[in-house]
Structure 1
Amino acid sequence: MPFESTDLNRFRKLPLLAAASADSFARLTRDAVLQRASRRAVLTVEGEVSAHLAILIEGAVALESGRDGHGATLALLEPSSTVMLASAVLDAPALVTAWAAPRSEVLLIPAEALRQAARTDPALAFAVAEELSGCYSGVVRALKNQRLRGTLERLANYLLTQQRRQGGATRLTLPSRKRVLASLLGMTPENLSRGFASLAPLGVEVDGPTVTLRQPEALALLASPDASIDNHAAFDAARPGQADRERRRFVAIDFPVPEDTRP
């Protein structure tokens, strides 16, 4: 069923599709499907080749993986993230399972149409390359964060990222349940609880999903922000748009999700 002009106008504003030529845009949306999730909806399954590229328009998407009975949440994505773009470009099995939270809205574009359009549309191909580069940068930042820092430093920098992205407030709302946050930070739930307790002398107060930073300067001294790891560091100010191109990737886990839909 053809899309209404209002929907096509919305799609045209999506970062990946904004650069596409008129012909490419028509090709990409001709057989696309707009999926509105009434409940948790699986978008990709780890180890399987997906026939579609998913672009998150509204809501939230979680990326998860598991092995030998153990599972982990690797990332939470916010609009307008692409979901497993590399798999769509390579026509390769997905490396993670992706699912959309209830009330999410996702545009599903045939992966083959994307590959064909990118081969003939330089502007679209560059947009794909830029998106993939942002994903790569996010993965490198996450890897450095995990390998070069202890758990308290990771937690402190996470809270500083929250402070920046919630308008500089000292009273923050955690965007996900603490077990998910622990997984994202490479910690166990028990270690996360001990981490918050260890930060109490630095003015960190936790009350359910609410965290108050009484001494953000002291927290920053412990965190020791690094522009090559943290999107909240000063490097972003000198490179307008860079954080946006890397946003919502493996280190960006800070979007609001209603309580009843939190992963």
Structure 2
Amino acid sequence: MNSSLKLSNRDRAVLMKAPFLAGLGNSALVRLMSMMTISTLPARKFVMREGETADAFYCVLNGYVRLFRLSREGREADIMVCAPGDTFAEHLLFNDNVYRCNAQTAEPATLARFDMQAVRDLAQQDPEIAKALIAAISRHLVGTMDCIANDRLFTAPQRVANYILSRCPVEGGSASIRLPFQKSLLAGMLGLAPEALSRAFSSLRRVGVTVRGRIIQVGDVQALKNI
């Protein structure tokens, strides 16, 4: 890990779009970024572990980070996959002092790290920063509720179809998308076992969905919408 890296232009652009920074004025932005360090991590490196003291929260600048929990028997339950621009662990700023899940890089990643106590102190001094952080936490809550509802309301093929449709570049006809990560990571993201994901892809063949590696071909986007 290297915590002395400087922001590249690309990473800066990603960071500026992060929800808790996007709406800040220049003064508040400078103060918050002064507490930030940039780190590079290899694939499958733990960023935090469940039960450890929550001393920082993070923003993904490049790569993907997987959040998950472990049972006593060692079974894994995926919570979410954080993409560039996503933040994680900031919900612990105001109500807890230990991490509630594990975070592990799915591939080499660049992260912005924010010291929890320093940001907490700054939020108490600056209402603009406090409001931005509360808004970011609120968005996470809404996203969590949507995720729970999708798990209850949609079948495995429908979850996969919805993921594909959310990334399709067209509204009708044929389309092609490329998964940004391995299918095993997509399975966890959708709350499916790898074998359940494979069965879901197989069931979608009847509407013209084919998979070759990370490339997903959709024969008829409209037909996929009707799943």
- The residue identity in structure 2 corresponding to 1:69 is G
Q: Distance in 1 between matches of 2:190 and 2:159?
A: 7
Q: Distance in 1 between matches of 2:178 and 2:98?
A: 35
1:141 aligns with 2:146: yes
CA deviation map 1:79-107 (0-9, x unaligned): 22212111233243211111234542212
The alpha-carbon deviation at position 46 of structure 1 amounts to 0.9
The answer to whether the 8 A contact 2:35-2:119 is kept is: no
Q: Structure 1 residues 40 and 3 mapped into 2: Cα distance closer, same or farther (>3 Å)?
A: closer
Q: Which residue of 1 aligns with 2:58?
A: 54
Q: Which residue of 1 aligns with 2:16?
A: 13
- The residue identity in structure 2 corresponding to 1:54 is Y
The answer to whether the 8 A contact 1:62-1:73 is kept is: yes
Q: Which residue of 1 aligns with 2:164?
A: 159
1:180 aligns with 2:185: yes
User: The residue matched to 2:111 in structure 1 has which SS?
Assistant: strand
TM-score (norm 1): 0.72
The alpha-carbon deviation at position 41 of structure 1 amounts to 3.1
Q: Which residue of 1 aligns with 2:136?
A: 131
The alpha-carbon deviation at position 129 of structure 1 amounts to 1.4
The answer to whether the 8 A contact 1:17-1:25 is kept is: no
Q: Percent identity?
A: 26
For structure 2, the 5+ residue unaligned runs are none
What RMSD, in angstroms, separates the aligned Cα atoms of the two structures?
Answer: 2.9
Q: Structure 1 residues 14 and 120 mapped into 2: Cα distance closer, same or farther (>3 Å)?
A: farther
Q: Distance in 2 between matches of 1:185 and 1:105?
A: 24
Q: Which residue of 2 aligns with 1:122?
A: 127
**What is the aligned counterpart of 2:85 among 65, 71, 80?**
80
Q: Which residue of 2 aligns with 1:105?
A: 110
User: The residue matched to 1:76 in structure 2 has which SS?
Assistant: strand
Q: Structure 1 residues 17 and 201 mapped into 2: Cα distance closer, same or farther (>3 Å)?
A: closer
CA deviation map 1:90-143 (0-9, x unaligned): 243211111234542212121011111111211111111111111111111100
User: The residue matched to 2:223 in structure 1 has which SS?
Assistant: helix
The alpha-carbon deviation at position 148 of structure 1 amounts to 1.3
Q: Distance in 1 between matches of 2:212 and 2:154?
A: 26
1:22 aligns with 2:27: yes
1:170 aligns with 2:172: no
Q: Which residue of 1 aligns with 2:224?
A: 219
The answer to whether the 8 A contact 2:209-2:219 is kept is: yes
Q: Distance in 1 between matches of 2:186 and 2:102?
A: 18
- The residue identity in structure 1 corresponding to 2:16 is K
Q: Structure 1 residues 103 and 206 mapped into 2: Cα distance closer, same or farther (>3 Å)?
A: closer
1:33 aligns with 2:34: no
Q: Distance in 2 between matches of 1:36 and 1:89?
A: 27
Q: Distance in 1 between matches of 2:7 and 2:194?
A: 47
For structure 1, the 5+ residue unaligned runs are 223-263
User: The residue matched to 1:205 in structure 2 has which SS?
Assistant: strand
Q: Structure 1 residues 41 and 169 mapped into 2: Cα distance closer, same or farther (>3 Å)?
A: farther
Q: Distance in 1 between matches of 2:201 and 2:99?
A: 34
TM-score (norm 2): 0.83
Q: Structure 1 residues 169 and 123 mapped into 2: Cα distance closer, same or farther (>3 Å)?
A: farther
